[in-house]
């Protein structure tokens, strides 16, 4: 058994020299130990539920995200096969900050109410021990108080788009006036300007609420995309044949229960009470008079026309899809603008060459594929997550990276960049070789996934599985016992479950063996129950 890795050991593993590429405004960017690599600053920007098909660096059908695209286009890289370990906000964040799968970090789901164990090792703690300053602003969503940060300021729970409450580091709470995406960026840039010791390297985590449900855009963007009609995904009217777990899920855009016409799509009406109406009214109640007037001026005519039209069936489902897409993209516009603000700041303060900038989401999301919104499933739209990096001087990779990577890889990457020996108990692999332009022969050939949150909102069954270059094998368990097998080359939309079909026996056996080896490698106790 490997010995546990301590923060003291991390500090001892560092070179005696403390400063390397830090801040060109205030320090020499050369390492005081010439044989040692520079220790880059890290700016890690994470959003919630931003999916790759809504980012123009990946897909130009719907979104235009020029600032996000800069990350890949300006001395950067785009990871084309970037996956999560558990497609759910809190669990995904726990995987990222620890570099470990959910069963190992202990935060498997949002519904149990169990807080994240903040006493365990995390990459910000290792960076602190290495002499980095660490800061976090925005969404935490792990129930417990953040640890490992010199400075933090977070929203409770999911946070609010308008005039949000922030929890300060001293435990006090305050309502801050404004739009959340702007405010998180304001706080982050203020810390870069005024809150840090500019003689030290830093790791800044900028965690946005956007693109999380219910997609409330800033008032300045409300009228965008109203003249655009978006094409339906080919499988919008999926009948879920041969996939009982998919059929049981409550994520349908067409369903009045699943996608709430008032909470999700803002069609507030005095004579209608929907399941989530009160939640939406609480969000509206945070607005000041000017914000609320702009909101009502925009939505009131749409509400009037909607209820007069009395849409039904497919007409209603497709109308909901169009409103969903518009709201999502309007919210995304603020996000893209604010990423641009961060990049502009780094350029203006001569930090670009010494800073690794990472952009990702906590998971992917459905934009009408399979008729759905939300995430959770191991299907491609939610398993896959965008990952863009703008690289500092000395890291020479450019363009597309096609190796399979996972969000458990971020922690070891940041540690290796900081000169910290990666602990043996971390599950992920450092991406630094890929950022240098290398293509290791022994890179992973499969990723492991495990989702736990059932019974819960959206009714997605518990499941685990393996994805290789071409195939995916999934086992749904708990109150169900079904398997699904997909050939991603012939069936990229995952519509045809070929598990148990004649001729698939050898493929299934290989995948099941690979799955069990991964469960053993990561020491997932589920392997003792299902073999």
pLDDT at residue 15 tops 80: no
Mark whether 395 and 524 lie in a shared domain. Answer: no
> Whole-angstrom Cα distance, residue 246 to residue 458?
11
User: Domain end: 445, 470, 496, which one?
Assistant: 445
Same structural domain, 194 and 141: yes
Q: Furthest-apart CA pair in the chain: how many Å?
A: 73
Kindly indicate the confidence band of residue 39, based on its pLDDT and cuts at 50, 70 and 90: confident
Distance, CA of 180 to CA of 159 (rounded, Å): 8
Structure tokens at 329: 């993209």
Residue 36: pLDDT band (50, 70, 90) is: low
Q: Are residues 440 and 509 part of one domain? A: no
**59 and 154 share one domain:** yes
User: Span 331-340, mean pLDDT?
Assistant: 98
Residue span of the structural domain in which 300 resides: 244-325
Q: How far is CA 143 from the centre of its chain?
A: 17
Query: Does residue 332 form part of some domain?
Result: yes
Instruction: Give the tens place of pLDDT for each residue, 343-356.
Output: 999 999 999 999 99
Residues 117, 65 share a domain: yes
* Residue 211 sits in the same domain as residue 140: yes
Distance CA(22)–CA(148), nearest Å, equals 20
Residue whose pair of structure tokens reads 């890179």 in the numeric block: 443
| Model pLDDT for residues 365-411, shown as the tens digit of each residue | 999 999 999 999 999 999 999 999 999 999 999 999 999 999 999 99
Q: Which of 141, 176, 267, 162 is nearest to 220 (CA)?
A: 162
* Sequence-ordered list of residues with C-beta below 8 angstroms from that of 121, at least 6 positions apart, any chain: 5, 6, 7, 98, 423
Give the mean pLDDT of 144-151: 97
pLDDT reading at 18 higher than 70: no
In a domain, residue 236? The reply is no
386 shares its domain with 294: no
pLDDT tens digits, one per residue of 437-448: 999 999 999 999
Average predicted confidence (pLDDT) for the chain: 93
133 within 8 A of 418, measured Cβ to Cβ: no
Residue 414 has pLDDT above 80, yes or no: yes
| CA angle centred on 171, ends 170 and 172, rounded to 5° | 95
| Domain of residue 395, CATH code | 3.40.720.10
> Which pLDDT belongs to residue 101?
98
Residue 451 CB burial class (10 angstroms; 0-12, 13-18, ≥19): buried
Are residue 185 and residue 291 in the same domain, yes or no?
A: no
Task: Identify whether 221 is part of a domain.
Answer: no
pLDDT at 22: 39
For 372, the token pair is: 């759905």
Indicate whether 16 pLDDT > 80.
no
Query: What is the Cα–Cα distance from 297 to 300, expressed in whole angstroms?
Result: 6
In a domain, 192, yes or no: yes
Determine contact, residues 101/425, Cβ cutoff 8 Å.
no
Domain membership of residue 100 (yes or no) is yes
What are 467's strand-pairing partners?
A: 447, 472
Burial class of residue 519 (count of CB atoms within 10 Å of its CB; 0-12, 13-18, 19+): buried
Task: Indicate whether 434 pLDDT > 50.
Answer: yes
Structural tokens at position 430: 């450092």
293 and 431 fall within a common domain = no
Contacts 24+ apart (CB under 8 A), 187-196: 187/137, 187/138, 187/153, 188/135, 188/137, 188/342, 189/341, 189/342, 189/345, 191/135, 191/137, 191/151, 192/345, 192/349, 192/351, 195/135, 195/151, 196/133, 196/135, 196/151
| Residue 231: inside a domain | no
Written as one string, the DSSP assignment of 27-94 is: S--S-SSTTSPP--EEEEEEESS--GGGSTTT--SS---HHHHHHHHTTEEEESSEE-SS-SHHHHHH
pLDDT for 38? 75
Element (H, E) at 482: strand 482-487
Same domain, 210 and 303: no
Neighbours of 298 (CB within 10 A): 16
| 455 upstream amide cis, omega within 30 of 0 | yes
> How far apart are the C-alpha atoms of 408 and 95, rounded to whole Å?
6
Whether residue 435 is found in the same domain as residue 469: no
SS3 category, 195: helix
Alpha helices (H) in 310-463, listed in sequence order? 313-348, 380-383, 410-417, 432-435
Distance of CA 214 to the CA centre of its chain: 16
- What are the phi and psi torsion angles at 139 (to 5°)? -90, 130
Of the residues 424, 445, 466, which one is the last residue of a structural domain?
445
Which residues fall within 8 angstroms of residue 482, CB to CB, at 6 or more apart?
A: 244, 245, 475, 476
- Assigned domain for 235 exists: no
Position 3 confidence tier, pLDDT thresholds 50, 70, 90: very low
End residue of a domain, out of 445, 472, 498: 445
Residue 75 has pLDDT above 60, yes or no: yes
Domain at 454, CATH number:
3.30.1120.10
pLDDT digits (tens, 9 = 90+) for 170-201: 999 999 999 999 999 999 999 999 999 999 99
Helix (H) or strand (E) holding 401: strand 399-401
Distance between CA 301 and CA 226 in Å, rounded? Answer: 13
The pLDDT score that the predictor gives to residue 21 is 40
Written as six digits, the tokens of 229 are 């009609």
Domain count for the chain: 3
Neighbours of 420 (CB within 10 A): 24
Strands 82-83 and 405-406: parallel
**Span 264-306, pLDDT tens digits:** 999 999 999 999 999 999 999 999 999 999 999 999 999 999 9
Residue 1 within a domain: no
Is 335 in the same domain as 308?
A: no
Q: How far apart are the first and last CA of the chain?
A: 23
Residues 6+ apart with CB under 8 A from 413: 428, 430, 431, 432, 435
Reported as a single tens digit per residue, the pLDDT across 447-495 is 999 999 999 999 999 999 999 999 999 999 999 999 999 999 999 999 9
């Amino acid at each position: 058994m490997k010995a546990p890795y301590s923060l003291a050991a991390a500090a001892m593993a560092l070179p005696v020299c403390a400063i390397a590429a830090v801040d060109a405004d205030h320090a020499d960017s050369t390492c005081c130990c010439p044989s040692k690599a520079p220790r880059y600053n890290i700016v890690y920007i994470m959003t919630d539920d931003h999916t790759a098909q809504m980012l123009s660096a990946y897909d130009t059908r719907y979104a235009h995200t020029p600032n996000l695209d800069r990350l890949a286009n300006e001395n950067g890289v785009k990871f084309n096969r970037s996956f999560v370990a558990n497609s759910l906000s809190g669990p995904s964040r726990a995987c990222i900050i620890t570099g470990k799968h959910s069963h190992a970090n202990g935060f498997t789901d949002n519904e149990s109410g169990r807080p994240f164990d903040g006493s365990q090792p995390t990459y910000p703690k290792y960076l602190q021990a290495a002499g980095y300053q660490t800061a976090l602003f925005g969404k935490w969503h792990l129930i417990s108080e953040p640890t490992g940060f010199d400075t933090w300021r977070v929203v409770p729970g999911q946070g609010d788009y308008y005039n949000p409450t922030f929890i300060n580091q001293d435990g006090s709470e305050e309502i801050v006036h404004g739009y959340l995406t702007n405010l998180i960026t304001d706080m982050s840039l203020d810390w870069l300007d005024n809150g840090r010791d500019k003689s030290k390297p830093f790791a800044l985590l900028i965690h946005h609420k956007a693109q999380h449900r219910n997609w409330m855009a800033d008032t300045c963007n409300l009228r965008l995309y109203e003249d655009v009609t978006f094409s339906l995904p080919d499988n919008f009217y999926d009948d879920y044949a041969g996939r009982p777990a998919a059929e049981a899920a409550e994520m349908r855009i067409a369903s009045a229960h699943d996608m709430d016409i008032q909470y999700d799509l803002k069609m507030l009406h005095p004579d209608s009470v929907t399941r989530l109406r009160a939640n939406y009214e609480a969000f509206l109640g945070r607005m000041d008079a000017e914000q609320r007037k702009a909101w009502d001026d925009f939505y009131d005519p749409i509400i009037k026309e909607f209820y007069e039209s009395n849409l039904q069936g497919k007409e209603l489902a497709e109308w909901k899809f169009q409103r969903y897409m518009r709201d999502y993209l309007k919210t995304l516009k603020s996000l893209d603008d604010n990423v641009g603000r961060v990049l502009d700041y780094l350029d203006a303060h001569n930090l670009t060459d010494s800073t690794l900038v990472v952009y990702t989401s906590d998971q992917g999301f459905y934009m009408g594929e399979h008729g759905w919104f939300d995430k959770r499933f191991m299907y491609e739209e939610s398993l896959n997550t965008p990952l863009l990096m703008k690289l500092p001087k000395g890291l020479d990779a450019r363009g597309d990276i096609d190796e399979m990577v996972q969000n458990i890889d971020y922690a070891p990457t940041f540690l290796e960049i900081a000169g910290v020996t990666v602990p043996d108990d971390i599950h992920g692999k450092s991406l630094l070789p890929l950022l240098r332009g290398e293509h290791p022969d022994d890179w992973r050939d499969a990723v492991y996934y495990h989702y736990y949150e059932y019974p819960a909102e959206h009714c997605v069954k518990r499941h685990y599985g393996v994805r290789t270059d071409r195939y995916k094998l999934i086992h749904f368990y708990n109150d169900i016992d079904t398997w699904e097998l997909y050939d991603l080359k012939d069936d990229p939309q995952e519509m045809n479950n070929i598990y148990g079909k004649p001729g698939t026996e050898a493929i299934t056996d290989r995948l099941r063996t690979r799955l069990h080896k991964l469960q053993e490698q990561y020491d997932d106790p589920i392997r003792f129950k299902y073999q």
